Structure 1
């Protein structure tokens, strides 16, 4: 990385002689300064890809927009699994859940898992072993004391998991009775349904999210004063449902005027039976009125406005500490969330874009900002971070480095097909085994626990309302998607491949 003085001098000279894009496109392999980069990961929970103003969304997000303007925007980034623990494990390990064992949530009702195997050291341990100062703030959701056990020297402000390994799981008894009360006409404070939307008492400074901001600022200050390169993660529960925010965010968006998508409350016709399941108490949405759905969406948008404030305060802290200019930043959401699309709320065993897609910004201060349309995976973030920090491998690497795309955009000759692989193995102890493959044109979803698969024409039906799995007009396209799925499962050594080969006979 350049020093501040050197960087300022270079920028001044560049402004006179050449365009900034020429110097900013210098390949990673030609950096003259051998100093290891400082890396900050900003992680948010159940954050959709489509609400930011830089994407033309309904929420004004000036701080995130400013970061996007300095970053590579990956506008078609995909998670591995629409569930918190597996998607986070994918980021830290760079491997699919069938390899790490982390294919379900941990520490929640009916799950069989308590933690990510401590042998899976992942990015935290690899960075620590490489001489990095490692810090973590906020939600982890991969088992008690997991960051500490992996070498995090700064370990502040934890999420909802216990600090005791193998503690008894959280069981949502109160949520069951609360949702039952909604059917009986019982409402919570202010006439709200707090399992879906809630106005918090107090102000932004009274929220749990703000406490994580303070802890994040403290961590950045500690890292700035240390001579070692640092790898820091600041992870937030926001904007995970239920959507709970204080004023002014609670009333920032008018429920009556929020724009609803074409698949809002769409009836699920010829869809897998699991989509009708109540896998968490608040999935029971039969009591939700049109007004309730609009309020839930408006409160989610308020939560996103608050997220933008969070990002702005953390980036300002990095600037105040004098570490921003050379800072490598990843901002991502572990998966999306349903706001009434297909009459669904939160997340569950399905592969709709609202859940499968995630926001992803990656800032490398030595590269010019770009927008990449190619599909990429959360697993690719891991490979990229490992390249940045020169980390020694610790096992299979299922993703691909994003550096070629960051240097050359969609024209990068990296040999990768424009597709994404997705899985939904378990949800809190219930098995589904779902595998999906997505291209820009089509999506095939294999549901081995059901006798009904899914096929969507994304160009003509972006809301994924019409399941075309039996439509003979798409026979050739469907067969091609099945072959792509089989190829990807073989590439990542997925043990479900043999079963898919048997099921695929009907499509080939």
Structure 2
């Protein structure tokens, strides 16, 4: 490969599945996330990052294409019988294909879930395994790994199970929410995916794979079921002396009741209360949720430990200049608002996501590197409070790879509106507040201003179509619910989003402003519902 190519940065992207934002927030619950915290300290943590939609296939397709779901067409999960679009339509450009066309070596490990008949290899990646039959029938690498270790997946009897619908301890019906697995840490899928990632790093470091590289690792978690091993990690692999087994490291008795657990659903869309029964958790009490939350947080820590192993491998193999990005496709209720999983409820529990970016060349102290595991840092965490979207990473990856102009494919309007904006300008400025960042025209996904709000949507999942649109600023959130009452929240006065202010006379001007913002976003993104929804919102504002 040309010398110029070797100067372009290597990029490692780690995507988790249904990881809540608050697990790594400084003011969040006490969850052990040393590797993610160190990533924030080394680089930049985005405090107001949001998914464009809280459902797996749709969010992941947006990440690949830089487009909202209404543009790429994958409105619900591809694996379901009622999927509207089982595969990403032909012709829609993806960042991975552009990187491959521009000399990057791409590899992929873990969860896919963007198409039933497509794999990462259809989009420029070399797929290195790590999947199983959970939504993706790509290969059986993990099952084969477990068979070779003498612990076949199907032969493990889980303990402390929690199930939805009916008796929470009865496995004859419902969905598995959480459990303890009597297995070693090395038998977990999280360990396996990290191990495969480390093997790929070794191949890149020894020249078995060309550089520069873009590698993507997608963990299957902390998505339910929250199954964690009754085994402790090797102290040499983590930053905790004498670490406890994952299954018991968080005591349910010490889990503080979630503030939004006191949800009454008064003056809320009727589907929210109905979803308690649809998901089968209407009879769950706090003690049961505390037990499940303890397992969820342990799952987060398990994955965090694997991220630490991966970053340590980068250092050990001389790849310390690699850009490292961590995000999640969306969050998880995990008892928030007494809900399970996700659905037509546009709360921050599932729409706000973690996002951390580490680019070594923009470190404060030139020449210093960090192993990403147990090294303490004296520098302050750099945070960006501007609202950003998950699919802003599309343009970000292109600019990181020094692809400065938007390829014509992305601009083609027949593929819908390309709405991704590069986050690179936020990474280049050291210790400056967001208002000091000047974003100029001309490069990938850039504009001469940064929006003061985010826009998100929802189209329904297994139970059918359900139109929702949301606009959120740092203080307010407005949700348009097509078939039911709209929602308005003052996040400063009510961060738990318990009180719907849509009919409150003191918030008339706020409601009008938020509806105008929503109309602007719908027009800007060429949302098909812009043909009639704005008229509904304007008429409502006149009442």
Answer yes or no: is 1:502 the counterpart of 2:535: yes
Match for residue 243 of structure 1 among 226, 237, 252: 226
Counterpart residue number, 1:490: 523
CA distance in 1, matches of 2:474, 2:35: 29
Match for residue 398 of structure 2 among 368, 386, 389: 386
Counterpart residue number, 2:109: 137
Contact 1:263-1:465 at 8 Å conserved across structures: yes
Q: Displacement, 1:185?
A: 6.8
Q: Displacement, 1:273?
A: 2.1
Aligned pairs (5 A) from 1:293-312: 293-312=289-308
Aligned pairs (5 A) from 1:192-271: 195-224=176-205, 225=207, 226-247=209-230, 248-271=245-268
Judge which range, 379-388 or 79-88, deviates more: 379-388
Provide closer, same or farther for how the CA distance between residues 321 and 154 of structure 1 changes in structure 2, counting only shifts above 3 A. farther
Answer yes or no: is 1:406 the counterpart of 2:427: yes
Answer yes or no: is 1:88 the counterpart of 2:69: no
CA distance in 1, matches of 2:5, 2:83: 48
Match for residue 438 of structure 1 among 460, 467, 472: 472
Q: Displacement, 1:45?
A: 0.2
Match for residue 101 of structure 1 among 63, 73, 83: 73
Q: Displacement, 1:429?
A: 6.2
Q: Deviations over 1:351-374 (max 9, x none)?
A: 101111000001111113621111
Secondary structure, in 3 states, of the residue corresponding to 2:252?
A: coil
Match for residue 275 of structure 1 among 268, 272, 277: 272
Secondary structure, in 3 states, of the residue corresponding to 1:455?
A: strand
Judge which range, 75-84 or 496-505, deviates more: 496-505
Where has structure 1 moved over 4 Å in runs of 4 or more?
Answer: 53-56, 178-182, 278-281
TM-score, structure 1 length as denominator? Answer: 0.85
CA distance in 1, matches of 2:467, 2:525: 15
CA distance in 2, matches of 1:481, 1:424: 18
Q: Displacement, 1:451?
A: 3.0
Secondary structure, in 3 states, of the residue corresponding to 2:323?
A: strand
Contact 1:118-1:146 at 8 Å conserved across structures: no
Counterpart residue number, 2:288: 292
Provide closer, same or farther for how the CA distance between residues 277 and 109 of structure 1 changes in structure 2, counting only shifts above 3 A. farther
Give RMSD over aligned pairs.
Answer: 2.5
Q: Structure 2: which 5+ residue stretches go unaligned?
A: 140-160, 231-244, 365-381, 412-417, 440-448
Secondary structure, in 3 states, of the residue corresponding to 2:300?
A: helix
Counterpart residue number, 2:370: none
Counterpart residue number, 1:151: 124
Secondary structure, in 3 states, of the residue corresponding to 1:329?
A: strand
TM-score, structure 2 length as denominator? Answer: 0.80
Aligned pairs (5 A) from 1:10-29: none
